[in-house]
Amino acid sequence: MSWNEPGGNKKDPWSGRDQQETPPDLDEVMRGLQDKIGRIFGGGAPGAGGGDSAPLRMVGIIAAIGLGVWTLFGGIYSVDEGSRAVVTRFGRYVDTTLPGLHWHIPAPIEKVDVVNMEQQRFLEIGYRSGGRQQSLASVPKEALMLTEDENIIDIRLAVQYQIKDAQAYLFNVSDPDATLKQVIESAQRAVIGKNTMDFVLTEGRGRVADDIKTEIQQTLDQYQTGIRVTNVSLVDAQPPEEVQSAFEDAIKAREDEQRLKNEAEAYANEVVPKARGAAARLLEESEAYKQRSIARAEGESARFRQLLAEYEKAPEVTRERMYLDAMQEIFEQTGTVLVDMKGSNNIMYLPLDKLQRPPASTTVAREAESPPATVQTSPDSGFRGLRATTSRGREGRGQ
C-alpha cells in the first residue's frame, strides 16, 4: 500500500517532522551517569541535584592525590659516594646515575640497582680461611695442578678485585662472581703449567702471581665483565702432603748448597784481595831491594875507584889507614881489649862491666884459655891479609 492510498494514515516522508523528539542533552546524560555512580557509592536518589556528586568527586581527588604521592615519593632514591645506580625500564637498561639524590618511575615500570664501585671484594682459590688466616682448609679440586716438569703442586691464591663498570657487571654476564672464579682457575693452571715446580716453590713466587694477574685481567676484558683485578697474592705453594717430607729435605739441601756457595764466595772475596796485596807488596819490596843493591854496588865501586886513586898516590899511607880502619871495625865487635905495653909482651885485660853480658863473657872466657895474641898482617895483603899471631908488638906489623 502506498503512503497516499486510503487507510495509509498519511505517512508520507514529510509528515510528522515537527512532532519528532529531539536527542537527549549531554548534560542530562552526564547527570544520569553521576546519579548511577552516586547510588553505587551510597548517594541519594536520582534527580536529587548536583549535591549527590560530592562523594564521587572526593574519591577522585583522593585517588589522584594517592597516585601523585606514589609517583613522587616512590621513585626517589639516593646513591652513596663511591657507588653507581643502574636504572632499567621493564628490564632494559636506561641510565647509570652518579652519587646523589635521584628520581625514577616507580616499580614495576623502572627498577634501580645500586653497585658499590670502591668496595674491595675478596675471592679465595684453593683454600677457605673462614675469616681466620691461621687455619686454611684446603680445597684439592681447586688447588692441585700440574707443572711444566709434570709434578703436582698445591697452589692457593687470594684475589682482590673491584667493579669498574656497573652496567657491564650487571648485564654482560649472567653470574660475574662465578665467571671470575672460573677465569682465575683457568689462568693459574695456564701459568703454572708453563713453569717448573722448583721455580714456583723458590724464586718464582712473585713472577707467577704477576703472570696470573695479567692473564685474569686479559680474559675479563675480553668477556667485558666490568671487573678490575687489583691484587693477586700467592698465599701458599707447596707439594702435596704425601711427598711433603721429601721435598722439605730437597729444599733444605738446596738451601745448604746456596749457603756454602755464599760462604765460599765471601772467603774468596776476603782472601784474594789479601793475596793480591801481599804480591804487590813483595813486588815493591823486591824492586826496592833491587834499587838498593844497585845503588850500594855503584857506591862501593865509586868508593873503591876513589880509594884506588889515593892508593896510587900514596900506597903506604893508604895501606896503613885501611889497616887501622879494619882493626877498629873488628875490635868494636869483640869484648877483648888489648893493651900495647912498650918493651914487653901484650897482656890480656878483661873488662868486668862486659863480663855481665853472656855473649861477651863467653868470648872472653874462650880467649882466656889461649895465650895473649896480637893481630899481625902483611902490608901487601889489604883486607884479606888479616891474621892472628903472636908477635913482639907494633913493629912486627911491617914484616
pLDDT tens digits along 312-334: 888 888 888 888 888 888 877 77
Q: Give, in order, the Cα–Cα distances in Å from 96 to each of 93, 109, 140, 176, 238.
A: 9, 16, 41, 19, 46
* pLDDT, the chain, mean: 76
**pLDDT the model gives residue 23:** 54
pLDDT tens track for 268-290: 999 999 999 999 999 999 999 99
Query: Once rounded to an integer, what is the mean pLDDT over residues 164-190?
Result: 92
**pLDDT the model gives residue 390:** 34
**pLDDT the model gives residue 182:** 93
Residue 335 is given by DSSP the state S
Given a cut of 90, whether residue 295 has pLDDT beyond it is yes
pLDDT band at 371 (very low <50, low <70, confident <90, very high): very low
Between 230 and 204, the more confident residue is 230
**pLDDT the model gives residue 227:** 93
How deeply is 207 buried, as exposed, middle or buried, from its count of CB atoms within 10 A (0-12, 13-18, 19+)? middle
The total of other beta-carbon atoms located within 10 Å of residue 42's CB is: 7
Between 290 and 356, the more confident residue is 290
CB 205 within 8 A of CB 235: no
Q: How far is CA 376 from the centre of its chain?
A: 91
Given a cut of 60, whether residue 398 has pLDDT beyond it is no
Q: Which of 27, 56, 51 is nearest to 40 (CA)?
A: 56
Least confident of 63-67, 225-229, 361-365: 361-365
Residue 114 bridge partners (DSSP): 85
**pLDDT the model gives residue 102:** 83
Between 70 and 178, the more confident residue is 178
> d(Cα 39, Cα 25) in Å, to the nearest integer?
21
Q: Give, in order, the Cα–Cα distances in Å from 342 to each of 339, 345, 350.
A: 9, 8, 19
Vertex 174 angle, CA 170 and 179, to 5°: 100
pLDDT tens track for 26-83: 567 666 666 665 565 554 444 444 444 566 667 667 777 766 666 666 678 888 888 8
Q: Which of 219, 243, 199, 216 is nearest to 125 (CA)?
A: 216
> d(Cα 56, Cα 59) in Å, to the nearest integer?
5
Query: Once rounded to an integer, what is the mean pLDDT over residues 1-25?
Result: 52
- Domain ranges across the chain: 38-73, 76-116, 121-239, 327-398
Residue with cell 884506588: 308
Given a cut of 70, whether residue 89 has pLDDT beyond it is yes
* pTM score of the predicted model: 0.49
CATH number 3.40.440.10 given to 121-239: no
**pLDDT the model gives residue 103:** 79
Between 118 and 137, the more confident residue is 118
**pLDDT the model gives residue 78:** 84
> d(Cα 132, Cα 232) in Å, to the nearest integer?
19
Q: Which of 103, 104, 100, 95 is nearest to 83 (CA)?
A: 100
> d(Cα 340, Cα 393) in Å, to the nearest integer?
7
Residue 370 is given by DSSP the state S
Q: Following CA atoms 173, 174, 180, 186 in sequence, which dihedral angle do they give, to the nearest 10 degrees?
A: -90
Helices 176-192 and 205-223 pack at an angle, to 10 degrees, of 140
Look up residue 389 and give its three cell numbers. Answer: 899471631
Residue 352 has φ and ψ, to the nearest 5°, of: -70, -30
Its sign, for the CA torsion 30, 34, 40, 45, is negative
